Amino acid sequence: MQPLVLSAFTLTSSLGRGLSATLAALREQRSGLRYCDFPGAELDTYIGRVEGIENEPINGRLSDYDCRNNRLARIGLEQDGFTDAVESARRRYGPERIAVILGTSTSGILETESAYRRRDPETGALPPDFRYRQTQNTFSVGDFTRRYLDLHGPASVVSTACSSSSKVFASAARLIQTGLCDAAVVGGVDSLCFTTLYGFTALELVSSTPCRPADAERNGISIGEAAGFALLEKPDRGDGDIALLGYGESADAYHMSSPHPDGLGAAEAMAKAMNRAGMEREAIDYINLHGTATKANDTAEDKAVFSIFGKGVPCSSIKGWTGHTLGSAGIVNVVVSCLSLRESFVPRSLNTGRVDPEIASWIATEELRRPVRTVLSNAFGFGGNNASLVLGKQL
């Protein structure tokens, strides 16, 4: 495929707001996970919470969109000069030539969860301040973002659980290839809510310690929240040192909430991404794993990685730093991959003490300082939905 430049990108997670805070946490070996202090949630687990969201409502013309997820989106958009970069693209291409394609799994449903606790005792009605379209509906964050940035191109939200914000890169690449738009704002926003905290607990997939990807003793995920964005442009029109080189998507056709035990779907997504990038396995310098720290996921992903790369490429999961940010897990991995490329390092797999002897791939338990030219970035979701991206330095 024709590479697309990431002319701007940004990330807000429990590691902090923006790229400097993210990089500082990664370099200082500082996790964003804390014991669960999400108001009203009584769970024995650790979470990756973004501080301050509660105190930063959306005011003004978009105040109807005020909810935790859109607040997080707004905070994310305001970091690293991202809105300025979009404004510059808007002037160059026109607002109708820029698409907005974002991923989320739970959108603003925290608002509905709260509204259900405040139903009219007689009629069962939700409180009058409930705004379905602007908060709960899955499209809400896409609608908010296009309005916030005043973009009029195609706008959609991808919701394929934890692969959502990797899939958006594939959708954007296709749309730009067809010529229906010149650039795209892509990314993902997912915020803490009771549905996921209690839902993953029901599935017995939540750890009572900070999650330990690939560790022999790993016993589940830590849930986090994050907002990340990237501006994609054709290389002859946009400036940037990092490009999307390939994408690969697949389905497991196996089970709704367990990955294919041999990672067949995951391997297919990775192979397709490298094929589209025109790259052999030797060209990959770092694999940013999905690495959720459940028994089944890490084993399946390992089998997929090992089947293609053997022990040849350092791998790490970022979940020990940020927690599993679900619908924004894809963009978290993309932005960390970009930092790895730019700063020439492989972040370690945090909280991984003793690597599971059944895991055969090369898990980086210490940070590696080395040139990184090409990264493979994974995101796999419920329903057996897989997406892999190849990102590289532009020469």
Partner 1 sequence: MIRVFVEGVGIIGPGLPSWNESREILAGRQAYAGGELPRLLAGRLPAAERRRSTAVTRLAIDTAEQALPPGINADGVATVFSSSGGEVEIIHRIFEELATPERLISPTQFHNSVHNAASGYWSIATGSRKASTSLSCFDDSFAMGLLETAGQTSAEGTRALLVAYDFPPLQPILRARPLLAPFAASLLLAPAPSELKLAELVIDFAGADSEDAARMQDAGLEALRLGNPAARSLPLLAALARSECAELSFGRLRVKLTPCA
- How many CA within 13 A on the CB side of residue 98? 25
24 contributes a contact to partner 1 by CB under 8 A: no
Signed CA dihedral, 22, 24, 26, 29: sign only: negative
131 contributes a contact to partner 1 by CB under 8 A: yes
Give min distance, CB of 321 to partner 1, in A.
Answer: 25
199 contributes a contact to partner 1 by CB under 8 A: yes
Among 9, 244, 217, 225, smallest CA distance to 110 is for 225
150 contributes a contact to partner 1 by CB under 8 A: no
327 phi and psi angles, rounded to 5 deg:
-65, -15
Give min distance, CB of 13 to partner 1, in A.
Answer: 22
Length of the chain: 395
Whichever of 273 and 372 has its CB closer to partner 1, that residue is 273
Q: Is 260 a catalytic residue?
A: no
Among 3, 220, 224, 265, binds partner 1 (CB under 8 A): 265
344 contributes a contact to partner 1 by CB under 8 A: no
Catalytic residue, candidates 211, 290, 315, 338: 290
174 contributes a contact to partner 1 by CB under 8 A: yes
Give min distance, CB of 1 to partner 1, in A.
Answer: 9
183 contributes a contact to partner 1 by CB under 8 A: no
214: left (phi over 0), alpha (psi -120 to 50) or beta: left
For partner 1 (CB under 8 A), the number of binding residues is: 68
Cα gap 224→16, rounded to integer Å: 12
Give min distance, CB of 136 to partner 1, in A.
Answer: 8
Q: Is 255 a catalytic residue?
A: no
Interacting positions 374-393 with partner 1 (CB under 8 A): 381-385
* 3-class SS shares of the chain: helix, strand, coil, % to 5: 35, 25, 40
132 contributes a contact to partner 1 by CB under 8 A: yes
* Cα distances (Å, whole numbers) of residue 334 to 108, 161, 177, 290, 331: 23, 16, 21, 11, 5
Cα gap 15→22, rounded to integer Å: 5
Q: Is 290 a catalytic residue?
A: yes
111 contributes a contact to partner 1 by CB under 8 A: no
List the catalytic residues: 162, 290, 324
